[in-house]
């Protein structure tokens, strides 16, 4: 099970997005799993430990790090916004927010 502690600055831009309500946080793992299943994310939930609360979000930390063009290696957290949108072609898609945390610098 993955646990992200916001106070450790694990993914620095995650806390403001949760506070703004863009990413939904759930009080129980069961509720997060129900919503994850509804949007096709199965059992991919992560526990979030914030300053005065903890909860669960739907998302996953990629098992393979990402390398930027400058050679930096980053861990990537993918979090769906839990809604569907249509693009100009009329194709329905699900927006996913990507958060990166620097792992190594070359």
The string of pLDDT tens digits covering residues 83-105 is 999 999 999 999 999 988 888 66
Q: How far apart are CA 96 and CA 66, in angstroms?
A: 16
Burial of 9 (0-12, 13-18, 19+ CB in 10 A): exposed
Q: Which pLDDT score, from 0 to 100, does residue 104 have?
A: 64
Q: Which pLDDT score, from 0 to 100, does residue 7 have?
A: 67
The 10s digit of each residue's pLDDT in 70-79 is 888 988 899 9
Residue 85 and residue 74 in contact, taking contact as beta carbons nearer than 8 Å: no
The 10s digit of each residue's pLDDT in 9-68 is 667 788 888 889 999 999 999 999 999 999 999 999 999 988 888 999 999 999 999 988
In the chain, where are the structural domains located? 3-104
């Amino acid at each position: 099970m993955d646990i992200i502690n916001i106070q450790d600055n694990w993914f620095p831009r995650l806390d403001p997005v949760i506070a703004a309500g863009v990413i939904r946080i759930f009080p129980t793992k069961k509720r997060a799993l129900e919503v994850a299943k509804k949007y096709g994310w199965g059992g991919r939930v992560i526990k979030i430990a914030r300053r005065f609360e903890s909860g669960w979000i739907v998302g996953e930390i990629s098992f393979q790090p990402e390398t930027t063009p400058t050679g930096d290696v980053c861990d990537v957290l993918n979090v769906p916004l839990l809604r569907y949108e249509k693009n100009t072609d009329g194709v329905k898609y699900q927006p996913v927010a990507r958060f990166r945390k620097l792992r190594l610098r070359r």
